[in-house]
Chain A
Amino acid sequence: MITIENLHAQVEGKKILNGIDFDVKPGEVHAIMGPNGSGKSTLSSVIAGHHDYEVTEGTMLLEGEDLSEMNAEERAHNGIFLSFQYPVEIPGVSVTNFIKTAINANRKAHGLENMPANEMLKKIREKSALLEIDSRFLSRSLNEGFSGGEKKRNEIFQMAMLEPKLSILDETDSGLDIDALKIVANGVNKLRSKNNAIVVITHYQRLLEYIVPDFVHVIFDGKIVKSGTKDLALELEAKGYDWIKELA
């Protein structure tokens, strides 16, 4: 699905990623863990194509295609989805209107006509049920006045609607109480298939109890310093992050 080799990136001249290597195959779930400031969120922004981040070295291939030539929306058209740690508010634009615009933009990029209204409606109903989203919620302005849980649920709802190949969930568990966490995790699990892949970025292993990863990577100082199975997450939980700093 995605192959990243020796990825170096910087923001405003400050080096954040110092040679990331990692490979995700279809059907897999990878977790990326690490202390604050280790470069976890930078990695997600770089994959999504945020223009503040400059790739200075290395390659990112999505199903063999070079991502560096694509801008953010083209990466989205090719199936990359980022669930934002801090979803942005857009006043006056309803959740429905936004998702409609996004779906049709993606369809247009693939030479498809706009999705017929009834089909759209059906899909919205189906996916909002999956995440236990109330229909009143859909007419509210995007993320405006949303609680932390509503924002994250809305992100996963969009993921369900857009059906991406590679989803990156950036700190999706932050700001969620246990009930909201279960709903979100349950939604994500239902979206797992052998054709897509998910990268979960998190500080704590709490989320990984619900979204069980095939692989866990620990990132520190812009590098993956240790990889393993889900047991690594438990080890981190027990021992904290200090010991991995010595690995770096």
Chain B
Amino acid sequence: MAYTEEELKKELETKEYEYGFYTDIDSETFPIGLSEEIVERISAKKNEPKWMTQWRLEAFRAWKKMDEPDWANVHYKKPDFQAISYYSAPLKKDKYESIDEVDPELLATFEKLGISLDEQKKLAGVAVDIVVDSVSVATTFKKTLGEKGIIFCSISEAIQDHPELVKKYIGSVIPVKDNFYAALNSAVFSDGSFCYIPKGVRCPMELSTYFRINQAGTGQFERTLVIADESSYVSYLEGCTAPSRDENQLHAAVVELVALDHSEIKYSTVQNWYPGGKDGVGGVYNFVTKRGICHTHSKISWTQVETGSAVTWKYPSCILKGDHSIGEFYSIALTNNYQQADTGTKMIHLGKNTKSTIISKGISAGKSQNSYRGLVQVHPRAINARNFSQCDSLLMGNDCGAHTFPYIEVRNNSAQIEHEATTSKIGEDQVFYCNQRGIDPEKAIALIVNGFSKEVLNKLPMEFAVEAQKLLEISLEGSVG
């Protein structure tokens, strides 16, 4: 006989996180806890210039005076920031000339994830800068990029080799005191990616970084800085998976984007940190600050597919400072089991004729809570600002929640702002229709959810879109409404 929804739900619930494994790599880990001394040690370890150390200390001092925010619609046990080790790096710190020199076990890990370097290399024009537990261990395609004058390296390298660029832009979009997690990241960030596209250059390939949390009890504090100089273009991909652990792991990344006049940055993320078990134990706390600044006639486009993490707190934002600048935010946030996500964006319209678009698709299943929180702010001088926002929620089952908290603040009478939100469920008739065509219920759900998310999936680069669809399918296991 056909499945009842209840039966299907039960069967699907037994599936476990596919990427939940732990790679045993020798690591050097700092003692736990955070103090000025630890901040200095992190800086010293990385051989940073004095201004950088000072910058970190300033952030640390600011952080000490700040309180962890609690306004988001998420509930979790606050991490003990003194029980975390703030630095961990694979011991083999040499730079690899070729991929053969990379720790084979690490490569095996990536293969398990289906993102082996070999595969990546084969994928048309994707350069991969892999970050495992904070330190960059392999970079490819550097030569091709070098010819165009594009700098794509770890932020540690950039601090050594391009201090003038780092000094000028780091903290320029997200000041060290911006918020609790950003301040913490500024003090202790271990590594991350740096990207600079020179004037008039169109980056010929998608730049890509894969992040992983690997070391037990290691907080991870990535720092990413992308600068698109005048009239340049870059598409940047960030993907995350994390191994399954029972302790809650903290992830507090900072991503800053600078789009100078007439440039365009596309920043795409697939986030699949370990979401915790189906009983709600474990999982990553993902407290990310992402923000870009748009100068005249420039454009920043954030696309995200968020399926992982136990708790997500993330609002990729655009400051539309320059006239005629454009900000876009396309998001799919899927929560299952006990996951909680509070995510959205801020579009700050400062310049004239600025435009923003927000498309958010929230899918809640299991016992999860999924919130959209967005701010559209039109300042008095932002003449002719335009915004269109659409937030759609799909609920699967009756134990989850979908929440929409849009804030719209308009202080200019020439603005045109439109916001729409809907809530729906997957219809039994839709599932039966698919069944009748030979598509099983699980695949039918995946198909319908992909359809629901299509407007956002379409914004992802091709190879990423395929991966994202797969991820939605995996993440939905255990939930039929």
Contact = CB atoms under 8 A, between A and B. Distances in A.
Interface of A: 48-51, 68-69, 71-73, 75-77, 81-82, 84, 87-93, 97-98, 101-102, 105-106, 109, 141-142, 158, 162
B51 interface: no
Contact of A76 (B429, B435, B448, B451): B435
B433 A91 contact: no
Interface in B1-23: 1-4
Given A51-B1, A51-B2, A71-B2, A90 B436 contact: no
Nearest to A76: B438
Contacts of A93: 447-448, 450-451, 454
B54 interface: no
B440 A51 contact: no
The 6 closest A-B CB pairs, nearest first, are: A92-B451, A72-B435, A93-B451, A76-B438, A92-B454, A102-B437
A151 B135 CA distance: 56
Interface in B283-307: none
A73 B433 contact: no
Contacts of B438: 73, 76-77, 102, 105-106, 109, 162
Provide the main secondary structure of the chain B interface: helix
A143 to B, nearest CB: 9
B439 A105 contact: yes
Interface in B422-447: 427, 429-430, 432-441, 443, 447
Contact of A84 (B433, B443, B450): B433
Given A49-B2, A91-B451, A98-B447, 10 more contacts: A51-B1, A73-B437, A76-B437, A92-B450, A92-B451, A92-B452, A93-B447, A105-B437, A105-B440, A162-B438
B436 A141 contact: no
Given A84-B433, A91-B451, A51 B427 contact: no
Contact of A51 (B3, B434, B455): B3
Given A51-B1, A51-B4, A73 B440 contact: yes
Contacts of A48: 436
A71 B436 contact: no
A69 B1 CA distance: 6
Contacts of A162: 437-438
Interface residues of B, number: 26
Nearest to A78: B438
B139 interface: no
B3 A141 contact: no
Nearest to B452: A92
Contact of A92 (B4, B443, B453): B453
Contacts of B443: 101, 105
A141 B447 CA distance: 12
A91 B390 CA distance: 15
B437 A88 contact: no
B439 A101 contact: yes
Contact of B430 (A71, A76, A90): A90
A209 B394 CA distance: 45
B170 to A, nearest CB: 40
B111 to A, nearest CB: 23
Contacts of B435: 49, 71-73, 76
A158 B439 CA distance: 13
B451 A50 contact: no
Contacts of A97: 447
Given A88-B427, A90-B430, A158 B437 contact: yes
Nearest to A53: B2
A94 B161 CA distance: 49
Contacts of A87: 433
Contacts of B450: 92-93
B11 to A, nearest CB: 13
A94 B2 CA distance: 26
A51 B8 CA distance: 13
Contact of B433 (A49, A71, A88, A141): A88
Contacts of A109: 438
Contacts of A51: 1-4, 432
Nearest to B3: A71
A165 to B, nearest CB: 13
Most chain A beta-carbon contacts within 10 A, residue among B4, B434, B448: B434
A66 B433 CA distance: 22
24 contacts: A48-B436, A49-B436, A51-B1, A51-B432, A68-B1, A69-B1, A71-B2, A71-B3, A72-B436, A73-B438, A73-B440, A73-B441, A76-B436, A76-B437, A84-B436, A89-B430, A90-B430, A90-B434, A92-B451, A92-B452, A93-B450, A101-B443, A102-B438, A105-B440
Contacts of B448: 90, 93
Interface in B404-432: 427, 429-430, 432
Interface string B445-474: 001101111110000000000000000000
